Amino acid sequence: MPKKGKLFVISGPSGVGKDTLVGLVLPGSAGLERVVTATTRPPRPGERDGINYWFITAEEFDRRIKDGEFLEWAVVHGNRYGTPGPAVSEKLEHGISLVLAIDIQGAKSIRNEMREAVTIFIAPPSFKELEKRLRGRSTECDAEINGRIRTAEDEMAHMDKYDYAIVNTDLEQAAGELKQIIEAHTG
């Protein structure tokens, strides 16, 4: 029977670079996969169903909640996001380690359910830099960006509840730190 895989839960404010960091770390990490979460929000330009998220309707999301298919789910910025529980459990049991990039609410739920999960908070170097990154995405209007900044201020207060914290000042350095943490728990 293979050694059980590790679950790495990565969170931080919207726009901090969670998905970018995961995208940099995954290719060189054998036995490590990204968990694709489900969302009710529409895809942003360049996002693909089953790659970035499972884009599903509100009705389908409700059905999955009712059927107990989510390990956790939350409403974030007016949209719902959920982690597919059966797929996560099955892969961990087969020795595959997983990276899950989710919001603060979801990370709290995972910590309560799976104490063995390794939690990693990604922080921006400053709120000014975070706002610059959010505006650079060109995916939200001013009101949405301002809401995300206000939410980020609240989320930063939770950083000390994580096993690790990485300040994403330099993308390559932050990716190196993330890879070191993962290797320390899977090696």
- Domain ranges across the chain: 7-186
**3-class SS of residue 52:** coil
pLDDT of residue 1: 60
- Looking at residue 146, its pLDDT comes to 82
> In the structure, what pLDDT confidence band is assigned to residue 38 with cuts at 50, 70 and 90?
very high
pLDDT of residue 7: 97
Tell whether domain 7-186 is in CATH 3.40.50.300. Answer: yes
Supply the mean pLDDT for the chain: 90
CA atoms of 10 and 119, how far apart (whole Å): 6
Rounded CA-CA distance 124/13 in Å is 8
The model's pLDDT over 67-91, given as tens digits with 9 standing for 90+, comes to 999 999 988 878 999 999 988 999 9
Condensed to tens digits (0 to 9), the pLDDT of residues 128-162 reads: 887 787 778 777 778 888 888 888 888 899 999 99
**Full strand arrangement of the beta sheet holding 164-167:** 32-34, 97-101, 7-11, 118-123, 164-167
* Cα–Cα dist 70/56, whole Å: 13
Strand order in the sheet with 70-76: 54-55, 38-39, 79-84, 70-76
Output the furthest CA–CA distance in the chain (Å, rounded). 52
Helix (H) or strand (E) holding 104: helix 104-113
Residue 105's pLDDT is 86
